[in-house]
Amino acid sequence: PPITVSISMKTPLLYLGVLIVTLVVFSIYHRRSKIRSLQKLTSSSLFKPAYEVDESQITEYSLIAPTPTTDSTPALLYNDLKMLDGHDKLLKCSLVERAAESMRRIIKLKETEPSVMLLYTRGLIGDESFKRFKLQAKLQDAEMMEVAKEAEGYKQGWSRIIFANAQEVMMNQALRRRVGAINTRKE
């Protein structure tokens, strides 16, 4: 005669409970490790700062303000002015400067993308560097979207105009840097 084993109804329920708890715990630890790895990737920027800033000048508002690129001085300045209820003209000027810095960074990323892709496909740079590059590109896109949203908050349709103004500012800054470099070579 075949042996029959009677199983309580609690056994499958206990099994499902243990399975669900295990999956939840794994999910929590996996998300935390992914967040830590992303924080490690974004902790150092690919860009040199456009402005010399003393660390003591960074206010508590800068640390609280949610910006995609926390290493961008114009973004921090804009958020500081916004938190302090700065004058509208000053805020708009700061927003144009923020857009110019973001455009400069995006152009740099676009210029270096073919080189980075070639280095990555040949195995000359690691996965972490490549991920950092891709993450920086996504952060700059998010920064541009945020600038456009802020511009629309000031005036309807201004998001189209601000990028033209920012491009002029960016070109002017590049020209000033070149003239400064030529003057230092002459000396």
Which residues make Cβ contacts (< 8 Å) with residue 165, sequence separation at least 6?
A: 96, 99
Cα–Cα dist 8/20, whole Å:
19
3-state SS, residue 180: helix
pLDDT of 61 reads 44
Task: Give phi and psi for 138, each to the nearest 5.
Answer: -65, -40
Cα–Cα dist 117/123, whole Å:
10
One digit per residue, pLDDT tens: the chain, 187 residues? 788 888 888 999 999 999 999 999 999 999 998 888 777 776 666 665 555 555 555 544 444 445 555 566 777 777 777 777 778 888 888 889 889 988 998 999 999 999 999 999 998 988 888 888 888 888 888 888 988 988 888 888 888 888 999 999 999 988 998 999 999 998 7
Do the Cβ atoms of 74 and 101 come closer than 8 Å? Answer: yes
Per-domain boundaries in the chain? 73-186
Cα–Cα dist 94/75, whole Å:
8
* CA terminus-to-terminus distance, the chain: 104
Cα–Cα dist 104/110, whole Å:
10
Per the structure block, which two tokens stand in for 73? 């001085």
pLDDT of 112 reads 92
pLDDT of 79 reads 75
Do the Cβ atoms of 136 and 147 come closer than 8 Å? Answer: no
Q: How many Cα neighbours within 13 Å face the side chain of 19? A: 6
Per DSSP, 55 falls in state: G
Number of other residues whose CB lies within 10 A of the CB of residue 96:
22
Q: How many Cα neighbours within 13 Å face the side chain of 11? A: 4
